[in-house]
């Protein structure tokens, strides 16, 4: 769970040059930023490069950050800008990079562990990943940030530079598209 006071304390310490505090920030945010980068560029290696570059750039610029409370939005914007600079902000058919990590866990959550249930769950997870990857860029980005990354709507709006109402609209359209695309699996997407 996000604890604003704890995050502000870590960021303040890092702003004063505390490498251990920044290492904690890295450990807690790197997977989230990697998944965001992967959703933007569709390539695991490029997403990893962007994530690393974002942390280096943030470390170098940290003393100039005006508010510790703005750090999470700020570093997401760095990732987004690096993806744009790389010229890789494009739609994909396959969810390369989206399939890695805890946000896309495909383990069978059912206690009975039936093979057919596990297969169905994997098929559903793959269908969802493909459906998210096939969304238009502006919809995919808000879904990844909000639903997969747990970023509040207001922060998503700041990261991508649009009003919160626009984020809500894009989320609604994306959910409807996802609902239609994965309906055939019998799942209730959203």
Residue spans of the domains in the chain: they are 4-85, 108-185
Q: How confident is the model at residue 105 (pLDDT cuts 50, 70, 90)?
A: very low
CATH number, span 4-85: 1.10.1740.10
Residue 106 has a pLDDT of 37
Q: Contact at 8 Å (CB) between 88 and 72?
A: no
Asked whether residue 143 carries a pLDDT value surpassing 80, the answer given is yes
Residue 115 has a pLDDT of 64
Lowest mean pLDDT among 12-16, 31-35, 144-148, 186-190: 186-190
Residues in the chain: 190
Asked whether residue 187 carries a pLDDT value surpassing 60, the answer given is no
CATH fold for domain 108-185: Arc Repressor Mutant, subunit A (1.10.10)
Residue 186 has a pLDDT of 55
- What percent of the residues of the chain are helix, what percent strand, and what percent coil, each to the nearest 5? 75, 0, 25
To the nearest whole percent, how much of the chain has pLDDT over 70?
Answer: 79
CA-based torsion, 172, 173, 174, 178: positive or negative: positive
Q: Between residues 120 and 154, which one has the greater pLDDT? A: 154
- Three-state SS at 77: helix
Residue 150 has a pLDDT of 85
Per-residue pLDDT reduced to its tens digit, 46-83: 999 999 999 999 999 998 998 988 999 999 999 999 99
Q: How confident is the model at residue 139 (pLDDT cuts 50, 70, 90)?
A: very high
Q: Between residues 180 and 105, which one has the greater pLDDT? A: 180
Residue 88 has a pLDDT of 55
Q: Between residues 22 and 7, which one has the greater pLDDT? A: 22
Average pLDDT, stretch 34-44? Answer: 89
State the average pLDDT for the chain.
82
* CA pair distance 145, 161, nearest whole angstrom: 13
∠ Cα 117 123 126 (to 5°): 140
* pTM: predicted TM-score of the whole model, two decimal places: 0.72
């Amino acid at each position: 769970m996000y604890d604003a006071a704890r995050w502000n304390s870590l960021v303040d310490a890092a702003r004063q040059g505390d490498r251990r505090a920044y290492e904690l920030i890295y450990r807690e945010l790197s997977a989230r930023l990697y998944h965001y980068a992967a959703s933007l560029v569709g390539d695991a290696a490029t997403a990893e490069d962007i994530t690393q570059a974002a942390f280096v750039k943030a470390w170098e610029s940290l003393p100039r950050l005006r508010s510790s409370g703005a750090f999470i939005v700020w570093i997401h914007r760095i990732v987004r800008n690096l993806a744009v600079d790389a010229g890789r902000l494009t739609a994909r058919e396959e969810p390369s990079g989206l399939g890695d990590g805890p946000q896309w866990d495909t383990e069978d959550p059912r206690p009975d562990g039936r093979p057919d249930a596990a297969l169905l769950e994997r098929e559903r997870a793959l269908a969802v990943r493909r459906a998210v990857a096939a969304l238009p860029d502006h919809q995919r980005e808000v879904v990844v940030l909000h639903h997969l990354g747990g970023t509040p709507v207001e922060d998503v709006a700041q990261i991508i530079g649009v009003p919160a109402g626009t984020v809500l609209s894009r989320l609604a359209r994306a959910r409807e598209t996802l609902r239609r695309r994965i309906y055939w699996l019998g799942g209730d997407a959203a």
